[in-house]
Amino acid sequence: MNHAYTAPILSVNQLVAAYGQSTILRGTTLSMQKGAITTVMGRNGVGKTTLLKTIMGLLPVQEGTITFNNQDITKIPSHKKAKIGIAYVPQGREIIPKLSVYENLQLGLIAHADKNAKLPEEEIYHLFPILKDFRKRAGGNLSGGQQQQLAIARALVSNPTLLLLDEPTEGIQPSIAQEIGSILQKLVKEKGLSVLLVEQKIDFATQVTDHYYFMDRGKMVMDGGAEELNHKALEKYISV
Ligand SMILES: Nc1ncnc2c1ncn2[C@@H]1O[C@H](COP(=O)(O)OP(=O)(O)OP(=O)(O)O)[C@@H](O)[C@H]1O
């Protein structure tokens, strides 16, 4: 595997994690460069979501280590991980449907390290203008793409340096997906954010990623720079 990184923000080393008796991560190893987008690809059920959950501390690590900014965070619980700068946008977004857009955004403050922090409304609405127009609308009344933007915006409210993002393009229109891709690239470029993305769509991944990993049955089996993202090779793995 190619590990030409100089300053990893996140290193996952030989991670093993399970749901009860069912082992899903079987020695997963990954290294992420600061200020870049790293994408994990792979078929359904190979353990991509489980990897994000384990990094976030929602599933215990059985073996292996997770290092974030040179700090061993293997055993740190998820709420503490949020406070040290890791944010997680799960698959399905988890917008609270009855709360307004504004109230959903406020929930992001819970994870902020500074308990007196205020909602950075201007910054959020600059990135996601649609959320300003809809700030009083119930979250449940937004389209899938708008909910995804809200979920990312809410995660940014905690001021993370690492964003874990699970299939943001699932079920949304290609044009909105492209918009989300551009916003992610902007965040990386302007704020130095690092993004660990789980994604099944090769077109989206090639649009945004700096480095990719390909996962199969709980392990990384291939990785490389964006320019090496080979459609044919990946399609062979991705198509079931
Ligand atoms: N809460 C759970 N309890 C038991 N098994 C689970 C649980 N969640 C996921 N699994 C199983 O773990 C395996 C890996 O699931 P995971 O969601 O990590 O895969 P994935 O690569 O993200 O796929 P997808 O794209 O479908 O989300 C699957 O076989 C799944 O059925």
> Tokens 């082992």, residue?
23
Which pTM value belongs to this model? 0.92
Confidence at residue 3, expressed as pLDDT on a 0 to 100 scale: 46
Rounded to 5 degrees, φ, ψ at 56 are -75, -15
State the complex-level ipTM. Answer: 0.95
Confidence at residue 171, expressed as pLDDT on a 0 to 100 scale: 87
User: Looking at the chain, how many residues does it have?
Assistant: 240
> Measured from the CB, is residue 28 less than 6 Å from ligand 1?
no
Look at residue 106 and tell me if it is in a domain: yes
- Rounded Cα–Cα distance for residues 86 and 158 (Å): 9
Confidence at residue 112, expressed as pLDDT on a 0 to 100 scale: 84
Residue 137 exposure: Cα atoms within 13 Å on the Cβ side: 13
Look at residue 57 and tell me if it is in a domain: yes
Confidence at residue 113, expressed as pLDDT on a 0 to 100 scale: 82
> Measured from the CB, is residue 40 less than 6 Å from ligand 1?
no
Which of 22, 89, 166 gets mutated to test ligand 1 (max ligand atoms within 8 A of its CB)?
22
> Measured from the CB, is residue 47 less than 6 Å from ligand 1?
yes
> Measured from the CB, is residue 219 less than 6 Å from ligand 1?
no
> Measured from the CB, is residue 19 less than 6 Å from ligand 1?
yes
Domain ranges, residue 25: 8-223
Task: Give CA angle at 190 (185, 195), nearest 5°.
Answer: 45
Confidence at residue 16, expressed as pLDDT on a 0 to 100 scale: 98
Confidence at residue 203, expressed as pLDDT on a 0 to 100 scale: 86
- Rounded Cα–Cα distance for residues 202 and 205 (Å): 5
Confidence at residue 202, expressed as pLDDT on a 0 to 100 scale: 86
Look at residue 154 and tell me if it is in a domain: yes
Contact 197, 155 (CB under 8 A): no
Contact 168, 148 (CB under 8 A): yes
Look at residue 239 and tell me if it is in a domain: no
Confidence at residue 234, expressed as pLDDT on a 0 to 100 scale: 66
CATH number for the domain that contains residue 76:
3.40.50.300
Residue pLDDT tens, the chain, 240 long:
444 546 799 999 999 999 999 999 999 999 999 999 999 999 999 999 999 999 999 999 999 999 999 999 999 999 899 999 999 999 887 899 999 999 999 998 988 888 888 989 999 999 999 999 999 999 999 999 999 999 999 999 999 999 999 999 998 988 889 999 999 999 999 889 999 999 988 889 988 999 999 999 999 999 988 888 766 666 666 554
> Measured from the CB, is residue 48 less than 6 Å from ligand 1?
yes
Look at residue 156 and tell me if it is in a domain: yes
Look at residue 236 and tell me if it is in a domain: no
> Tokens 């709980």, residue?
218
Domains in the chain, number: 1
Nearest-CA residue for atom 24 of ligand 1: 44
Confidence at residue 115, expressed as pLDDT on a 0 to 100 scale: 85
Contact 37, 13 (CB under 8 A): no
Confidence at residue 2, expressed as pLDDT on a 0 to 100 scale: 47
Look at residue 52 and tell me if it is in a domain: yes
CB atoms within 10 A of CB 85: 19
Nearest-CA residue for atom 28 of ligand 1: 45
Confidence at residue 201, expressed as pLDDT on a 0 to 100 scale: 87
In angstroms, what is the span from residue 47 Cα to ligand 1's centroid? 6
Conformation bin of residue 231: beta by default, left when phi > 0, alpha when psi is -120 to 50: alpha
User: Per DSSP, what are the bridge partners of residue 100?
Assistant: 138
In angstroms, what is the span from residue 178 Cα to ligand 1's centroid? 27
Look at residue 2 and tell me if it is in a domain: no
**Torsion from C-alpha of 74, 80, 83, 87, nearest 10 degrees:** 60
The three-class DSSP label of residue 138 is strand
Which residues, other chains included, contact 127 with Cβ-Cβ below 8 Å and sequence gap of 6+? 153, 156, 183, 186, 187
